[in-house]
Amino acid sequence: MRACWVVHATLSVVALCVVEADALPQFSLLTGNRCINCHVNVQGGGLRNDLGWYAMESVGLLQYEDIGLGGLRPVLSTNTFAGDRLTVGIDFRLQSSRSLRDTSSERRLFPMQGAFYASYKPLDWLLAEGSYNLGRRVYAYAGQQSWSGSIAVQPSLDYPQLRIGFFQPSIGYRFDDHTMLVRRIPAGSQDYLFAPNWAEWGAELNYYRLEWLTLTAGVTSLAGLKDATLSDASGGTRPLLSEPNAPAAVGRVLFSPRLLRERLTINAGGSTLQHREFSLWNVFGGIGYADVASVIIETMQQTTPGARTITATSAELMLHLAEPVYLYARAEQGETVTGSTALRQEQYLLGVQVFVLPFVELRPEYRIIDLPRYRLNRWTVQFHVFY
């Protein structure tokens, strides 16, 4: 009975959640492109630039002409306007989910995302960008925001980019799956370490002049985590951060050389977020052979001295079966240690990304989630439309 209640409560919460529309680092390894090549943001995620648009413009099992909708082609021919200074985008997702633990449970259909993006470049060295999510915020998720926005200044590619505003600090990879343990609290009552659409006020310097190197350094507030708590030794709770408005330091490095006539791409990097009693380290990397396969790994450790230590690792294999079809399998493990208590969680996932039409994706997945007291088995199908 208790396990069933947990299953239904989890599904109810997820139904209200607005997920991030982030880049897929697996695609970066499969194509040899860095995230900044296809996205407005250096770390990827959110708004796609003209190359990101062009890369998906004809990818699909079917084309619009095949189903009598060729008239849409002029509308879908670009996402840049006003002399290429204005760029727009959207991401809409619906998900159908059914737990296999409770045989009486019904399949549920719920909205996951309704995001709008835009950027404007009034001058060659100045860019303003922002996003807004229509979905309702889940106030139990500390740090979740409905919007983000920033201004980027960069005289030329020879100089670092200065980004200032309200956005997610650059840590680890940017995935579009909010269930991954490298962003959660394994086996914890608070699901998220960093909630979907997490954003903070901050400033970052990004250097990416060299094709094989991306560097980020900056400062950020963690005020969005002011309501986050953790368990103390007595079984009670206390704030995660004693001074969330105090500045935190952010740093990230990514090496991405291309070898074998640029067919083989290697990623190796790390990031850190340091804020007095809060310490986070991420190490990540991968290898990909163009249009064939990629392997990607990320591990993280978050430490609050004397209170809690979280560790998690995720590893994923992706196979490019055909131009619009990608098969992937992922294994994850994580542990939350509080005092003398250690709780472990494992997750396994098998899924397929199928682009049925340009900018229309179906993503069926089968998940196994092993928690300390029970196991969840879940089928989900995600319908994703992007522009």
What contacts 9, CB < 8 A, 6 or more positions away?
Answer: none
Distance CA 337, CA 354 (A): 39
Look at residue 328 in the predicted model and tell me its pLDDT. Answer: 98
DSSP 8-state symbol, 85 = T
Burial 328-364 (b: 16+ CB within 10 A, else e): bebebbbbbbbeeeebebbbebebebbbebbbbbebe
Question: What is the number of helices (H) and of strands (E) in the chain?
Answer: 4, 20
Distance CA 99, CA 139 (A): 24
Q: pLDDT digit string (tens) for 64-113?
A: 999 999 888 887 889 999 999 999 999 999 999 887 665 556 778 878 88
Q: pLDDT digit string (tens) for 289-313?
A: 999 999 999 999 999 988 899 999 9
* Contact present, 271 and 7 (Cβ < 8 Å): no
For CA atoms 56, 62, 67, 68, the dihedral sign is positive
Distance CA 189, CA 186 (A): 9
Residue 287: strand pairing partners: 266, 295
> Hey, is 272 helix, strand or coil?
strand
Q: Are strands 293-304 and 237-239 parallel, antiparallel or unpaired?
A: unpaired
Burial class (CB in 10 A: 0-12, 13-18, 19+), 157: exposed
Which amino acid, residue 92? F
> Hey, is 63 helix, strand or coil?
coil
Look at residue 103 in the predicted model and tell me its pLDDT. Answer: 56
Residue 313: strand pairing partners: 299, 333
Angle, vertex CA 80, rays to CA 74 and CA 84, nearest 5: 125
Look at residue 13 in the predicted model and tell me its pLDDT. Answer: 36
Distance CA 201, CA 163 (A): 11
Look at residue 7 in the predicted model and tell me its pLDDT. Answer: 36
Distance CA 61, CA 83 (A): 32
Give residue limits of the domains in the chain. 2-386
Per-residue pLDDT of the chain (387 residues; tens, 9 = 90+): 333 333 333 333 333 334 444 458 999 999 998 888 899 998 888 899 988 888 888 899 999 999 999 888 887 889 999 999 999 999 999 999 887 665 556 778 878 889 999 999 999 999 999 999 987 665 567 788 999 999 999 999 999 999 999 999 999 999 988 889 999 999 876 678 998 889 999 999 999 999 999 999 999 999 999 888 887 666 678 888 989 889 999 999 999 999 999 999 999 999 999 999 899 999 999 999 999 999 999 999 999 988 899 999 999 999 999 989 999 999 999 999 988 889 999 999 999 999 999 999 999 999 999 998 888 898 999 999 998
For CA atoms 156, 160, 166, 168, the dihedral sign is positive
Architecture, CATH, for domain 2-386: Beta Barrel (2.40)
What contacts 358, CB < 8 A, 6 or more positions away?
Answer: 56, 57, 58, 59, 60, 63, 64, 76
Distance CA 98, CA 106 (A): 6
Which amino acid, residue 129? E
Distance CA 48, CA 22 (A): 10
pTM: 0.90
Look at residue 364 in the predicted model and tell me its pLDDT. Answer: 97
Burial class (CB in 10 A: 0-12, 13-18, 19+), 283: middle
Q: How many CB atoms lie within 10 A of CB 165?
A: 18
What contacts 269, CB < 8 A, 6 or more positions away?
Answer: 214, 252, 253, 254, 255, 283, 284, 285
